[in-house]
């Protein structure tokens, strides 16, 4: 009797025929080698999508020690998908299965005789409680002798997907808070007395910068290859120095230290992304301040030629030899705390990849450390793009 299905074929092997296929898979050296070599989750299926063999990682996901408990089942049945009983024919045959990434990958693999990769959101019943899993599924056809099989690779990306979802919620909620802050700072700027106008203006500019930073980071998080289109506008060295002065006026890293800006090229003009330039230089100055002893000075200056403008940040400390060769690598830092080493990495990312400039440094025991950020005065491609009104500093 043909069993009813709403998606994948329902037929299964008779127990005796299934036992023959399971035994053939178990003794096959190719399959045995794959099961013992692949570090991820791997199951070997027949053309009826029944499990013939599986590795220890898959057993761990199922929470069982004896593979016999899973052999002959389909993946959704072994994983205890809550919909595997929605149709008497089992996993892959109910209306719910038509949108299941794992079922789609297996069916496509058999129909096209080619690998198929999908993502699968599955709700399973584990120890009497329902739990959501998010799996990356890759089904690959393979022929062993005269037997046609499927290699089913699974990657549990549940935590990764949860973090992505939390990230989206975080940026959404943070954006709401920041734009409320921007609006409040604008009201403050309109009503403040002349005595406190400079402070109110500083708060307004910093809130705008924070809004732009969050907007940019949200965009970067959504791009698989961190592709970002800079917002190009006319700038001057003086404006950049003024912004840095605002940022570091009450910065904790600047406490009991001095920043000396030699503004000899105040009127030098160039075109670039204001917020990215400031972001690169903020990291440079912050790193310099963190390396500087109390009572000492960090120096900042700029120069220009016909084609480029260069910014320099100096401090008296040399970079340790153990860090020099890998200073721009993520998570490499002269500081002991975990999560460091992102400042120099981001200098390279934003300064070179996005702004097509160059970031370099010199360091020695006698001369200290000088970082240089060199930018083209006029980008080779891309037209100036105005900022939306909500993100344009009022006094720029």
Predicted confidence (pLDDT) at residue 331 exceeds the cutoff of 70: no
Highest mean pLDDT among 118-132, 180-194, 202-216: 118-132
The reported pLDDT for the residue numbered 285 is 96
For residues 85 and 90, what is the distance between their CA atoms, to the nearest angstrom?
6
Tokens of 342: 């992102």
Residues 6+ apart with CB under 8 A from 334: 291, 319, 320, 323
Q: Does the pTM exceed 0.75?
A: no
The reported pLDDT for the residue numbered 204 is 87
Tokens of 166: 């939390």
Work out the pLDDT band at 389, boundaries 50, 70, 90.
very low
Predicted confidence (pLDDT) at residue 134 exceeds the cutoff of 50: yes
Q: Is the Cβ–Cβ distance between 72 and 89 less than 8 Å?
A: no
- The CATH class, in words, for 229-391 is alpha beta
For residues 186 and 203, what is the distance between their CA atoms, to the nearest angstrom?
9
What CATH superfamily is the domain 15-156? Answer: PAS domain (3.30.450.20)
Using one digit for the tens of pLDDT, what is the confidence trace for 26-67? Answer: 899 999 999 999 989 999 999 999 999 999 999 999 998 899
For residues 255 and 111, what is the distance between their CA atoms, to the nearest angstrom?
68
For residues 205 and 62, what is the distance between their CA atoms, to the nearest angstrom?
54
Work out the pLDDT band at 333, boundaries 50, 70, 90.
low
- Name the strand (E) or helix (H) holding 272: strand 269-272
């Amino acid at each position: 009797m043909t069993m009813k299905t709403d998606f994948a074929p329902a037929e299964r092997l008779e127990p005796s025929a299934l036992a023959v296929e399971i035994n053939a898979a178990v003794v096959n050296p190719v399959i045995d080698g794959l099961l013992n070599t692949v570090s991820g989750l791997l199951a070997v299926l027949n053309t009826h999508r029944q499990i013939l063999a599986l590795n220890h990682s898959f057993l761990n996901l199922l929470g069982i020690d004896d593979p016999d408990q899973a052999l002959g089942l389909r993946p959704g049945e072994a994983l205890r998908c809550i919909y595997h009983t929605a149709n008497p024919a089992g996993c892959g045959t109910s209306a719910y299965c038509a949108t299941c990434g794992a079922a789609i990958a297996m069916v496509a693999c058999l129909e096209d005789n080619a690998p198929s990769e999908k993502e699968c959101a599955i709700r399973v019943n584990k120890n009497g409680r329902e739990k959501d899993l998010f799996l990356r599924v890759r089904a690959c056809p393979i022929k062993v002798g005269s037997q046609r099989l499927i290699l089913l690779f699974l990657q549990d990306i549940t935590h990764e997907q949860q973090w992505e979802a939390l990230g989206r919620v975080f940026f959404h909620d943070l954006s709401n808070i920041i734009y409320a802050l921007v609006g409040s700072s604008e009201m403050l700027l309109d009503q403040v007395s002349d005595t406190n106008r400079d402070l109110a203006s500083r708060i307004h500019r910093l809130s705008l910068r924070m809004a732009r930073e969050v907007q940019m980071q949200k965009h970067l998080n959504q791009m698989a290859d961190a592709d970002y289109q800079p917002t190009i506008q006319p700038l001057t060295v003086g404006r950049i120095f003024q912004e840095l002065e605002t940022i570091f006026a009450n910065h904790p890293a600047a406490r009991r230290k001095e920043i000396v800006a030699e503004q000899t090229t105040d009127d030098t003009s160039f075109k670039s992304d204001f917020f990215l330039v400031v972001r690169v230089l903020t990291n440079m100055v912050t790193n310099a301040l963190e390396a500087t002893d109390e009572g000492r000075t960090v120096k900042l200056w700029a120069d220009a030629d016909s084609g480029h403008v260069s910014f320099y940040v100096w401090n008296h400390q040399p970079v340790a030899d153990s860090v020099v060769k890998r200073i721009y690598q993520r998570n490499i830092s002269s500081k002991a705390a975990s999560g460091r080493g992102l400042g120099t990495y981001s200098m390279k990312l934003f300064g070179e990849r996005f702004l097509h400039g160059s970031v370099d440094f010199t360091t020695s025991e006698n001369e200290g450390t000088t970082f240089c950020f060199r930018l083209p005065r006029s980008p080779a491609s891309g037209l100036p793009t105005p900022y939306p009104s909500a993100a344009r500093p009022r006094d720029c």
